[in-house]
């Protein structure tokens, strides 16, 4: 009887994730099914392992405190062909530079990004906002109250990270006095609700030298 109950829980969790199409918090699943969090997490982990081990056409992603169903990366090309999904434009080197700075210094302002790169980043930040890789998260409490930016769950999904704690160590200075990007996304990304964040770019060579003597405002 206990086994049947667990199978019913698995089926219910699977149905919730499928119907959502978006990341679902563990707590929401617990409330919906009226069961404790350890049990839900056990079921989610079993489903994740099952999809991967059995080489199913779907995968279960764990993103911070949420879970989401998506297609298996191996079938991305077939899915595009079936639904005529166009490949998104590659992230440019400036976009990767800006994304790296925000990822490691979030929450941060455009002025801080500009100071590190040495050029205006307004256009690039706008593109990253459109791709939902970054988002606004308030304002810095200084004169002018500039907007603060941080990465999103879509960023974590795109780079196959469970949380920001999974980011590689902060890049160190190279011999040429420049920082090198160390975050890198896989070539085949899961397709989620018709979107495909795909790695088809090489890591940029550098980000401008950080000022060592005094820490600039973010």
pLDDT digits (tens, 9 = 90+) for 132-175: 899 999 898 888 888 999 999 888 888 878 888 888 776 554 44
Nearest to 157 by CA among 128, 192, 130: 192
User: Which two tokens mark 64?
Assistant: 């911070």
pLDDT value at residue 156: 87
pLDDT value at residue 72: 86
Quote the strand ranges of 44-194, DSSP E. 58-63, 66-71, 108-109, 134-139, 147-151, 191-192
pLDDT value at residue 136: 93
Nearest to 21 by CA among 58, 69, 83: 69
pLDDT value at residue 128: 93
pLDDT value at residue 45: 92
Residues of the chain under the 50 pLDDT cut: 1-4, 173-218
pLDDT value at residue 7: 84
pLDDT value at residue 87: 62
Q: Check: pTM over 0.75? Answer yes or no.
A: no
Domain locations in the chain as residue ranges: 2-71, 93-196
Of the options 1.10.10.10, 3.30.1180.10, 3.30.70.260, 3.30.365.10, the CATH number for the domain spanning 93-196: 1.10.10.10
In 3-state terms the chain splits into helix, strand, coil percentages (rounded to 5) of 45, 15, 40
Quote the strand ranges of 64-146, DSSP E. 66-71, 108-109, 134-139
pLDDT value at residue 86: 64
Same fold, 2-71 and 93-196: yes
Of the options 3.30.70.920, 1.10.10.10, 3.30.70.260, 3.40.50.300, the CATH number for the domain spanning 2-71: 1.10.10.10
pLDDT value at residue 148: 94
User: Within 13 Å, how many C-alpha atoms sit on residue 102's CB side?
Assistant: 28
């Amino acid at each position: 009887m206990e086994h049947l109950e667990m199978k019913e829980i698995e089926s219910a969790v699977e149905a919730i994730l499928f119907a959502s199409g978006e990341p679902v918090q563990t707590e929401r699943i617990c409330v919906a099914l009226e069961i404790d969090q350890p049990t839900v997490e056990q079921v989610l982990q079993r489903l994740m392992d099952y999809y991967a081990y059995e080489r199913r056409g779907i995968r279960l992603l764990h993103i911070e405190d949420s879970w989401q169903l998506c297609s298996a990366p191996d079938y991305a090309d077939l899915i595009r062909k079936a639904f005529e999904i166009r490949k998104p434009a590659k992230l440019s080197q400036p976009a990767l530079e800006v994304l790296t700075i925000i990822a490691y210094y979030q929450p941060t302002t455009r002025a801080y990004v500009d100071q590190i790169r040495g050029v205006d980043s307004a256009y690039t930040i706008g593109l990253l906002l459109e791709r939902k890789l970054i988002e606004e998260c308030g304002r810095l409490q200084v004169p002018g109250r500039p907007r603060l930016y941080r990465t999103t769950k879509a960023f974590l999904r795109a780079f196959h990270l469970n949380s920001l704690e999974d980011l590689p160590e902060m890049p160190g200075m190279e011999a040429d006095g420049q920082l090198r990007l160390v975050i890198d996304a896989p070539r085949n990304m899961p397709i989620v609700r018709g979107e495909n964040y795909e790695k088809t770019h090489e890591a940029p060579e550098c980000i401008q030298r950080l000022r060592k003597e005094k820490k600039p405002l973010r």
